[in-house]
Amino acid sequence: MDEAAIQAVLARTRRELAAPAPGARTGAAAAAAAPRAPFYLAIAGNIGVGKSMVTELLGARFGWPTFYEPVIENPYLDDYYRDMRRWAFQLQIYFLSKRFEVQKQILDRGGAAVQDRTIYEDVEIFAPTLHRRGCIDDRDYASYREIFLNMTAFLRPPDLILYLRATPAVTLARIKSRGRACEQGIQPDFIEALHEAYERWIGGGAATLCPVRVIDTERVNLRDDPAARAELFRQIEAHCAAKSAQAADGKGG
């Protein structure tokens, strides 16, 4: 989704927020009822699925800082898409370093945050897919995973992973639509391999980190459907409230 489309979604969301539903709490009552525990939300999903739009949407709705993938300023991305076998390892090390930096920043500042893609997706989705495709050799892959394990010893996982699902065909169409020049040569089999890796991770390892919610973005239209956005907000609020209640119980104990 391009910047104009994202801004259109945000404009609609702000209009919806300016007109609270009947019975909704406002002012001091809403502030008193708001969850107090900092909430760290991660948005996961394949290339082009719509993570940036959802990150911006949720940041605007809850007033949370947003953290995005280093794409524009990434010194390896163009080279990587031209020659994955030459540049895959360097790119993955770059992403590993930047995502560690961002996640450490989120945790050190102590407040709520929304992050577009996590460090866990690098090591569970992208690096192993590139390794299986022969773009990262065994020695470099073993070193990469060792670096990841040493880094994540200093991190806390998100409070919730929101996985945006779409079939590879739809994902490819969205990639073409958003028009990033470096992405136009991405092959369908690569997107399919990433999709399969995501589905395995979401169905298994991701849930060992934190709760996971799945949104079928082909069925749930967060861009154009106010009811779909309202339901997503309700789900996030429920997770926030559960964390706040758990924190309160911990202090009480």
In tens, the pLDDT along 16-36 reads: 544 443 333 333 333 334 446
Q: Which of 95, 146, 159, 156 is nearest to 121 (CA)?
A: 95
Alpha-carbon separation of residue 232 from 10, 92, 215 (angstroms):
15, 31, 9
Give the domain extent around 177. Answer: 38-244
Structure tokens that stand for 137 in this block: 């050799």
Among the listed residues 116, 122, 140, 159, the single catalytic one is: 116
Q: Are 59 and 47 in contact (CB under 8 A)?
A: no
**Confidence label for 12 from pLDDT (cuts 50, 70 and 90):** low
Cα–Cα distance, 165 to 167 (Å, whole number): 7
Q: Does residue 8 sit within a domain?
A: no
pLDDT in tens, 135-169: 999 999 999 999 999 999 999 999 999 999 999 99
Q: Does residue 46 sit within a domain?
A: yes
**Confidence label for 8 from pLDDT (cuts 50, 70 and 90):** low
**Active site (annotated) includes residue 116:** yes
- Counting residues of the chain whose pLDDT is more than 90, the rounded percentage is 73
Q: Does residue 32 sit within a domain?
A: no
Q: Does residue 99 sit within a domain?
A: yes
Q: Does residue 253 sit within a domain?
A: no
HSE, CB side, 13 Å, CA atoms: give it for residue 186: 25
Q: Is the model's pLDDT at 1 over the cut of 90?
A: no
Structure tokens that stand for 41 in this block: 């939300």
Spatial strand order of the sheet with 212-216 comes to 66-67, 113-116, 40-45, 160-165, 212-216
CATH at residue 225: 3.40.50.300
Angle at Cα 86 formed by Cα 85 and Cα 87, nearest 5°? 100
**Interacting residues of 39 by C-beta distance below 8 A, sequence separation 6+:** 64, 112, 113, 159, 160, 239, 240, 243
Q: Does residue 23 sit within a domain?
A: no
Question: Which pLDDT score is estimated for 179?
Answer: 83
Q: Are 164 and 54 in contact (CB under 8 A)?
A: yes
Whether the CA torsion 130, 134, 135, 140 is positive or negative: it is: positive
Q: Is the model's pLDDT at 230 over the cut of 70?
A: yes
Q: Does residue 138 sit within a domain?
A: yes
* Domain count within the chain: 1
Q: Are 194 and 126 in contact (CB under 8 A)?
A: yes
